[in-house]
Amino acid sequence: MRSISGLPTTFSSAAALLTITFALGLPVCAQQGSGNASTGKSLTVPAGVRAKLDKLEGELKAAQAADDEKATAAALNGIGDFYFNISEYEKALDSYGRALTQAQAAKDAHEEAMALNGTAGCYVEQNKAEKAAETYQKALDLTKASGDASGQAATVD
């Protein structure tokens, strides 16, 4: 099992820190330090961000220990969402890909569609419109076939 603790602990950009903070619904709190060559300041990741990642990693470990493919897929989708929200699209794609494999093994159409939906979102952000459209269509087809109305809404949204 690979660790997902690759999140940097400091950022040289206030925009990067704010992206993470707002994406997770955390209050804005920054600690100034040294490290940015242009301003002489760096911003430290709020404890809530690290706690969110630790929680997701704990959920993944628990699901894997229980050999629960459905819960593993859900945890990996959560990790993918975490990385998507902080614009770490390659890490998000890796998590969504692993979630897709687990969801397919568990025959869980909802988690499979969520993994496809997250993957398509990454493709959009990477300006891969054709791949995004194909992947969104797969997710939509899957949710329609399984009668998953909430999955359809998430995909169309």
Residues 98 and 134 in one domain: yes
Domain identity same for 71 and 125: yes
What is the percent of the chain where pLDDT is above 70? 64
Average pLDDT, integer, range 117-136: 94
Question: Amino acid identity of 145?
Answer: A
pLDDT digits (tens, 9 = 90+) for 52-72: 889 999 999 999 999 999 999
Average pLDDT for 115-127: 95
| 22 and 71 co-located in one domain | no
The tens digit of pLDDT for each residue in 36-52 reads 334 444 445 567 777 88
**Which pTM value belongs to this model?**
0.68
65 and 36 inside one domain:
no
Same-domain pairing of 33 and 54? no
In a domain, 35, yes or no: yes
Number of structural domains, the chain?
2
Q: For residue 3, tell me if it sits in a domain.
A: no
74 shares a domain with 18: no
> Could you list the residue range(s) of the whole structural domain that residue 111 is in?
50-156
Cβ neighbours for 84, distance < 8 A, ≥ 6 positions apart: 92, 118, 121, 122, 125
The mean of the pLDDT values for the chain is 76
Please check the confidence at residue 15 and state whether its pLDDT lies above 90.
Answer: no
Q: Which residues contact 29 (CB under 8 A, 6 or more apart)?
A: 21, 46
Is the pLDDT higher at 32 or at 113?
A: 113
Claim to verify: residue 15 and residue 57 sit in the same structural domain:
no
